[in-house]
Structure formats: C-alpha cells, structure tokens
Structure 1
Amino acid sequence: MSRRARAYLLAALLGLVLAAWTFPPDVLLPHAGMAWAPVGDAAQHIIAQRYFLQDSWRWPPLFAMNLNTPEGLNIAFADGIPLLALPLKLVAAWLPQGFHGIGIWYAISCVLQPVAAVWALRGAGEKRLLPAIGVALAALSTPAWLGRYGHAALGGHFLLLLSLGLYPRLVRGPRLWPAAVALSVAMLLAHPYLMMMGMALLAAVPLTLLLRPNRGRERGWIMAAAGLGACMAAVLLVMVLFGYFGAVGDGGYGRYAMNLLSPVWPYRSGLLPGLVTTEVDATGFGGWEGFNWLGAGLLLGLVLALWHGGAWDLVRRHAGLALAMLGLTVLAVSQRVGLGSQIILDLGQAPAVLEQFRASGRFFWPVAYVLLIGVALLLARWRPWLVLALGLLQFADAVPMRAALHDWAARRPAWGLEAAPLRALFATHERLSLFPSWPCIAPRDEESFSLAQQALALASETAIPVNTMQVARWRTPPVCRDTELAATPIGPGELRLFLPAARALAPPGCAVVGQALACGLTRRSADAVPPDTAAGSSSR
C-alpha cells in the first residue's frame, strides 16, 4: 500500500471510529414511529428533508409544496441539506417510511473531515505519514466544528478543507478548476455560508498569483480569475434555477459576531478546564455563533512555528490567501468590535448586503483551518513528530466537546405531545392546519416553539400537507393570521390541531389529545373526529 493510501485510510478510519462511537444506529437510520422527539435545529432539518423526500419532483427542484402550504417551501431555507436530499430523493421509493438523511450527514462529515484535512496538507506539499495523522486528529478536534452538532448543515466543514486543498493545487496550475466549480455548487447545496467561505479560499488563488513576482503574474492569474468566474457563474446559475433568489431573513449583522478574544478563549477546553465557564460575549447575544476557540494544540503549535521561523516567508508566498483570511476575520468580527465584555468600536449600521449574514462569527472557520495547515507545514519542516504531538494535544483538549456531542446524540427527549394518537389522526386526514402557526409564536414562547416543532416532526413522518413551517428565510414576510383562519369552516379531510397557546381559537366539540385539541372531518366520512380516536382523550 502506498504512503498516500495509508494516510487517507488512517484518516478515514479515525473519522469512522468517531462516527461509530458518537451516533447510535437509530440516529443514522431513522424511521417513522420512533419513541423520541427530535429537537432544535436538527428537528428543523429533519422536517424539511422528510417532506421533500415524500413530495413529487417539482420545479424549482428544491421545493416541497406539501410544507408551508399553499406557498410551499424551498428546503434550502430550512437547512434541509439539498446536497444530500437530492440524491436521496432519487431512491426515496426504497427508503423506510419517515426516513431522512440528517444522521447520515453527521456520519459523512465525521468520516470526511480528517480525510479532507490530509488532502489539504498534501496539497500544500507535506506528504509524510506522521504529519498526516497529526492533522487528521487536529481536524477531528476542531472546536468550532465539534460545536456545530445541533446544526447538521453547518457541520460540513470537510467542504472548507477540500477548498483549502484546492488552493495550492490551483496556484500551481489550472487543471483542477472544473473540480473547483463542482465543489462551489456542492457547498451552496450544503449551506450558503459554507459556499461563501469556500469561495473566499478559491478567490485567494488569482490574488496570490497576482501578488507574486512577474513570472507568476504572467503565467497564471488571468486564467485563475477566469476559473473563479466560472465558479461564481455556476453558483449563480444554480441559485437561479433552484429558487434561492427572492428570499430574505431577519437581518441583524453584528449581533452574532466573533469577539476578538474568541480564538484564545478556552471555553470547553479539556487541557484548561474551568479557566472560563462560558463563551466570551460583548454583543449581548450569547457569543455562541462567534465561538472560535482554536484549541490548545493549535495554539501551542502556532507559538512554536512562530518561534522557529519561516512563517513570514509562508505568508509572503501566499499573500492572496493571507489577505482573503484577513477579510474573513474582519467579516467575522463585524462592525461592532467586541473585546471581552466590551464593544470597543461601533461603526454603526452595516451595509444592507451584509444583513444576509447575521451569524458573522462563522466566517472565522476557514481561518482556523488555514492556521492549522500552515502550522503543520512549518512544524513538519522542523520535526515531523511535532505535528503528531499537535494533533494529540488538540485531541485531548477536545475531550469535553466530543463528550457533549456523544451525549447529545444519545439523548432521547420524550414527546411533549401524545405521539401515538396524533400519528393515527395524521394518517386519516388529507391536510393539517397547525395553530399557532409559526409566525404567531411569540419570540420567547419556548413551549409553543417546542410543541409546534414536535407536531411538525410527527406530521413529517407521513408528510401530510401542513400550513406552516419554521423557516430561516422566506419569499413573503410571514404574517400572523391565525384568528382569521381559525374562524373559517373546516374543509373536508382537514385536521386542525390547536396547541396550548392557541386553544382559545378552537371551535366547540374538538377532541382533547394530550395538551392539544384536534378537530376536523376525516377523509373517510363527514363526521366530526370522535373523542375515542385518541386513546385516553376526551371531549372538550
């Protein structure tokens, strides 16, 4: 077996072990009728993907018309991971009822994270085995990656590492620009934030060539700029064809920024336990989106690399990459610059174009990976075993974060609603109207948020058309019209489900199903839903 094959195989095995240890079989291979409820951002992704898989093919291709009816929903706006959902839909007829690929995406991300890190290191010129193992361990222990476990779509950091691996290869020659085009589209279909970060890495190629001596400029920067233009054109074309344009979000750029201390703030550090007990935050929005602790191993490696020398020469030869990373860091910090608990600089209202990226603290992720590969290169020139030591230290430092990920995956939250009778009701009706609908849930009403999410998760098992959905971006700004809609007659085959916050809107004669009220006409008869359709329920 070649040295290259050994490096990739060992990296994949490390990722496979982490995935197998972390994610139980029922997370990886879900089905309808499970005894526990999905929660948080992962529940949103699950609901969107289930509805998409059980709907017909439509145009634009990412739309599910059985969700958020009658307008429908582009599942990209609910982080349904189109990159995985599209191929799954091709085989949907052979999948179990209620299947979704969110658990598989977690496993894919685990396995490919260290493999992509080795690809990036080898592309930078370091091809020995010990540094490859060290970088694989460090990539699997990146705090900002491990901390994204609640948001599956954003866990695809391997795509950033693949972009970083393309950068030096494209600097050397244009042969892989078609791969860069395909990767750019893949990143968009995973999550637009990842696409923007990956495009910054690719944009560094023509910039680096332009800033090199005349020989480098004459040989490559124009062709590289054309390759970058092809990437951008492909992304724009897919955005047009797949219905990305025309949607807006809440805005708020600067609220979820990265604090200047975040990269050295050892929250959840295993080697510096208890030194800090929460994220560093100056904006008043918690600091989690700006969480970017680099890890004890990488920070120590950075100190050693700077002490030994060679860093400035590396920056000078890759000036375009350095400038691109500086730009991402500025975006991550935002116009409201926080240092510790204080805002030390506030530049006022941000340009409107940045309002689409309110979680700006995420933009530091590629910077952390560039630092990892750069430090590994410098240390490997000195002593290859130092890169392995860096990886082992990083791995030890991430013990609490891996434990938190494992505990999260093993959690089995109980249903807050009566799951069995609701499943029976959803199976005997043609459409669902849920009250309160998403726009009518008060911002801090956590109970209604959780119960509405659970109702949608149960409904998604059979993909009964439903009137609402938790959406990150929308084409038509959501308006609360529950009072008006609840006053209209119930249609044939319609089930109306009133959660506690909306029970006052329910008409007389509904069935009590746990905390909810259910009323409507079955599609098999015109009779009102009888109380005994739900075990243990009674008339209102």
Structure 2
Amino acid sequence: MIAQRYLIADDWRWPPTLAANLNTLEGGLNTAFADSIPALALTLKLLRGLLPEGFHGVGLFYGLAWVLQPIAAVWALRGAGERRLLPALGIALAATAMPAWIGRFGHAALTGHFLLLTGLGFYLRLVRAPTTGRWLAAGALQVIALLVHPYLAVMTLALLGAVPATRMLRGEAFLGAGLAVAASFAAVTAVMWSFGYLGATGLPGDGLFAMNLLSPVWPAGSALIGLPWSQLVDATGHGGWEGYNWLGLGLVGALAAGLLGRPRAAVAGMWRHAGLVLVLLALTALALSFRVGFGSRIVLDLGQPPAALEQFRASGRFFWPAAYALLIGAMLLLARIAPLLCLLAGLVQFADAQPLRAALAGWASQRVPWSVPAPELRQALAEASTLTLLPPWPCVDRRTGDETYALLLETLSLASEHGVPANTMYAARWHRPPQCRETDLAAAPFAPGELRLILPSVQAALAPLVPDSASRCRPIGVLLACR
C-alpha cells in the first residue's frame, strides 16, 4: 500500500516502477521490490488525475483476484475440452476454496492464482491447437505475471515451457512452440532488465521456507477432518507457512475417486501430457528444496543449493501449479464417471475450507488502533517537506525489532497519504545492500521543512545527537518529533 501510494504520487521516471520520493537516501525505491503489484500500480498512476489523493489499489486487486479465480478455473477446464455445466460449477467452487490460495490473503500480490489457472488454460489450448493469437496472448500473460509478482512469472513460464516439451514427447512438431516460448522468455527478460529487476538480491535462505512432503495431504484448516489451521507441518523450524499446501478434502476425494474409477484414463492423460507432468515434478522438487522434510524431520539433505536458487527463499510456493493441475485432472476424470460428482467434490471442497474463510474474515475485519496518535502525526506530516525516520530500516535488529518495524510501517502509511518524501522503506530485494547510517542522520543539520521522527527503541541513543534537540524536539505519542 505504501509503495503504491508513493509510486502513484511521484513523477514518471525510468524505470517506471521507481519512486524517488521513498527510500530517498538510496536514490529512491524500485517499488517492484516492495510487492507493489506494478501491473496495477502503473495503471492507477495513468489514472491518478481521476483518483483521490492517497488512493491505492490493494483492495481492488483482492477484489479482482476473488472474481477471476473461479472464472480462470472454468476457462482452464474448457481448454481441456470439458464444457458442461456441472463440472464447471464444481471446479469454480473448488478453485475458490483452495487452502493455499485463501491463505495468501495477507500477501496481496500472491493471491493472483488466477494467473496460474490461466497459464494452465493456455497450455491446454496451445498443446492442442497452437495459433499466433494464442501465443501472443500467452506471451502477454508472462509479462503481466511478472508485473504482479516474479514468483508467479516463474510458474507461468514453466507452464508455457511444457507446451514444446509435451509436443516433442508426443512426436509432434515442437520447434515452433519452442521458439515461441523463447520469445516469451526474451520478452520477460527485457522487461526485467528495463524495470531494474536484474542484478537485485535479497536475504539468503533457500530451503528455510520449503514445502514438507506431507503438506499436500496434511489437513491443516480442514473443517470436515477438524485439524486446526495453526497446526502446520514443519521440519525446518520456520513454521511451515510458506510451504502450506493442503489440497482440500474435496480435491483429495476427487483424485481418489477419479483414480479408482478411471485408472486407465488417468495414466493415459499423464502420458498424453508428459511434458506438463515433468514440469510439475520439477516445480514440486523446487518446492521441497534441497532439505526435504517429512513431518518434523529432515529426511534428505542435499547440501547447499545453487546460488541462483537463493533468489527463491519461499520455495514452498512452487507447488501451486501442480495443485491446480491436479484439480483440473480430477475434475476431468470425475466428469467422465458422472458430472454430478464434480459438483459434489466442489461442494465438499468449499465446506472443508470454512475455517480458512472464517479466519480470513476475522483477521481482515480487525480494526487495530494506531500505535501513534494519527491525527496529530498527520498534521505534523502535512507541514513537513521531508521525513527522516530513525532508525532507518537497515538499522533495526531483525531478531527483536517487530515493534519497531510496525511503528515504521504505521508512520510511513500516514506519510504515504500525501507522498511526503521519506528516507527509508522495506524492500525484499536491493541492488546494493542497504547501509545503517542512523547516527549520521541523527546528527545532521536539518533540511528546510524536515520532520525527524525518532522511534522509542533508539531515542536514548540518538536524541542527544540531534542539533538543538532540547528546543527542536517534542513527543508525539511514543515518537519523538524534531523539526
């Protein structure tokens, strides 16, 4: 939200995702590294003359994601040739009750699972009847996915790469499909280069947020089995949240019924889409990472992963395309047995996800009070030409800084309402490791109109360094405001 507001308020720059008025000490912030959903944020920036000051599109994206999820699922199913009403209703219900998708609500960009379902729909159409129009549309999807979140782009590109792989394994013409995939990859790379994605790094830790082998069948959050959502299976000591991939009881039941009722059709389908199966197995292997957990134990440790994989710390997410492919496959098998079974599976899936929806509703409806006196701070920010927050983000102790992080974000949220240029901001990636310069900032002469806010964790150390602190500084709630 903060990154979107600052980007919308700032002048147009290059790269287009750069907000020079945020993280000013580092030359601005590439808001793509703050999960700002650039595809939407840049669209809103084009329309900012029609929008109220301080508008952001996070809630709008949630609405789009919730509407498009069942539509994309039905579109993917139709790509496999199934166009009847009951299977469509079944997959629409099931898609809106996928636990890993509902569980992404706290991370807006990653609720864009409709992009993965759309990617599967393009695969099913392109492997059967490739046309220039479909290839162009599939290529555009890759760029859109990148500008929603890079993890989603990796997954949709992998699904697109399954098209030439499947055609090759079938003995069909695949060279044209391979060239089209290469062109899509080149387009994504060009956008990454021009938007400043390339060369950025984040914190290491591939495997810390992996998927557990039991995760797809571990019914955390199941209403019908009754296991609380909080009991996630984990072997890495990091809670298992990023690897949360319970398929849902409706999907598990549909897979079991489909495999028992049409085993030959299931095997034939996997052979017919062997390229997709191999791609999904590779993504699943990435999700499991180099330290494979089974329950509470690490059962396979392959050592240090390649450096390139360190970009994907939350590797457990890479199972999502496999889960949706299983959903489509299960619905196709059930539709051949009895279309009514598809609707039944969707209803079971929807009922099973009730605790997840209840937890989401309870969490999202909270109105937690500000930790700072918002009206007074808004007034101070309205009179400021620049904002200096102390400590800056790189100076906060990550092990004990939760309260400080929260205060930083609350204050930046208020500042973002008017786009007051600010010295610091959270980013998941960076081109140069951020430096801690809190003592220099505290002792520096004031710029005209500068508001310097010192948070409780560093007030004792930094307040005495502020020039003329006795006359310039006064408390605003828990903050010390100096001007």
Compute the TM-score of the two structures, normalised by the length of structure 2.
Answer: 0.96
**Rounded Cα–Cα distance in structure 2 between residues aligned with 1:475 and 1:462:** 27
1:206/1:224 contact within 8 Å kept: yes
Question: In the alignment, which of 519, 532, 535 is matched to residue 482 of structure 2?
Answer: 519
Give the alignment of 1:443-462 within 5 angstroms: 443=398, 444-462=400-418
For 2:311, the aligned partner's letter is Q
Question: In the alignment, which of 357, 361, 371 is matched to residue 406 of structure 1?
Answer: 361
1:135-184 superposed Cα distances (whole Å, 9 cap, x missing partner): 00000000000000000000000000000000011011221100011000
**Rounded Cα–Cα distance in structure 1 between residues aligned with 2:230 and 2:57:** 34
For 2:64, the aligned partner's letter is I
Unaligned regions of 5+ residues in structure 2, if any?
none
The farther-off stretch of 105-114 and 435-444 is 435-444
**Rounded Cα–Cα distance in structure 1 between residues aligned with 2:356 and 2:228:** 15
Q: Quote the residue 1:191 is aligned against.
A: 149
Residue 437 of structure 2 corresponds to residue 484 of structure 1: no
1:94-138 superposed Cα distances (whole Å, 9 cap, x missing partner): 211211000000000000000000000000110000000000000
Q: Quote the residue 1:442 is aligned against.
A: 397
**Rounded Cα–Cα distance in structure 1 between residues aligned with 2:447 and 2:137:** 52
Q: Quote the residue 2:73 is aligned against.
A: 117
1:182-205 superposed Cα distances (whole Å, 9 cap, x missing partner): 000000000000000111111110
**Rounded Cα–Cα distance in structure 2 between residues aligned with 1:240 and 1:426:** 35
Q: Quote the residue 2:377 is aligned against.
A: 422
1:265/1:276 contact within 8 Å kept: no
Give the alignment of 1:1-150 within 5 angstroms: 46-70=1-25, 71-150=27-106
Q: CA deviation at 1:274?
A: 3.1
User: Is the partner of 2:292 in helix, strand or coil?
Assistant: strand
Residue 174 of structure 2 corresponds to residue 221 of structure 1: yes
**Rounded Cα–Cα distance in structure 2 between residues aligned with 1:250 and 1:91:** 35
2:229/2:355 contact within 8 Å kept: no
Question: In the alignment, which of 201, 205, 223 is matched to residue 248 of structure 1?
Answer: 201
Q: CA deviation at 1:429?
A: 1.1
User: Is the partner of 1:190 in helix, strand or coil?
Assistant: coil
Distance 1:167 1:355, change over 3 A: same
Q: CA deviation at 1:275?
A: 6.7
For 2:477, the aligned partner's letter is G
Q: Quote the residue 2:345 is aligned against.
A: 390
Distance 1:276 1:147, change over 3 A: closer
The farther-off stretch of 147-156 and 266-275 is 266-275
Q: CA deviation at 1:246?
A: 2.1
**Rounded Cα–Cα distance in structure 2 between residues aligned with 1:246 and 1:197:** 20
Compute the TM-score of the two structures, normalised by the length of structure 1.
Answer: 0.86
Distance 1:321 1:97, change over 3 A: same
Aligned length: 470
The farther-off stretch of 292-301 and 505-514 is 505-514
Q: Quote the residue 1:34 is aligned against.
A: none
Q: CA deviation at 1:477?
A: 0.2
User: Is the partner of 2:24 in helix, strand or coil?
Assistant: coil
Q: CA deviation at 1:350?
A: 0.3
Q: CA deviation at 1:277?
A: 4.8
Q: Quote the residue 2:293 is aligned against.
A: 338
1:289/1:361 contact within 8 Å kept: yes
Unaligned regions of 5+ residues in structure 1, if any?
1-45, 521-540
2:386/2:451 contact within 8 Å kept: yes
Residue 277 of structure 2 corresponds to residue 314 of structure 1: no
User: Is the partner of 2:445 in helix, strand or coil?
Assistant: coil
Question: In the alignment, which of 188, 204, 211 is matched to residue 162 of structure 2?
Answer: 204
Q: CA deviation at 1:366?
A: 0.4
**Rounded Cα–Cα distance in structure 1 between residues aligned with 2:199 and 2:446:** 32
**Rounded Cα–Cα distance in structure 1 between residues aligned with 2:344 and 2:444:** 68
**Rounded Cα–Cα distance in structure 1 between residues aligned with 2:69 and 2:362:** 20
**Rounded Cα–Cα distance in structure 1 between residues aligned with 2:396 and 2:324:** 39
1:196-238 superposed Cα distances (whole Å, 9 cap, x missing partner): 01111111100000000x3x2xxx3111101101110110111
For 2:412, the aligned partner's letter is L
**Rounded Cα–Cα distance in structure 2 between residues aligned with 1:351 and 1:483:** 37
Question: In the alignment, which of 318, 322, 330 is matched to residue 375 of structure 1?
Answer: 330
Question: In the alignment, which of 217, 224, 230 is matched to residue 271 of structure 1?
Answer: 224
User: Is the partner of 1:338 in helix, strand or coil?
Assistant: strand
2:208/2:238 contact within 8 Å kept: yes
For 1:108, the aligned partner's letter is L
User: Is the partner of 2:299 in helix, strand or coil?
Assistant: strand
Distance 1:112 1:275, change over 3 A: closer
Distance 1:104 1:407, change over 3 A: same
Q: CA deviation at 1:413?
A: 1.2
User: Is the partner of 1:207 in helix, strand or coil?
Assistant: helix
User: Is the partner of 1:304 in helix, strand or coil?
Assistant: helix
**Rounded Cα–Cα distance in structure 1 between residues aligned with 2:228 and 2:129:** 47
Give the fraction of aligned pairs with identical amino acids, expressed as a percent: 58
1:174/1:223 contact within 8 Å kept: no
User: Is the partner of 1:363 in helix, strand or coil?
Assistant: helix
Q: CA deviation at 1:493?
A: 1.3
2:5/2:419 contact within 8 Å kept: yes
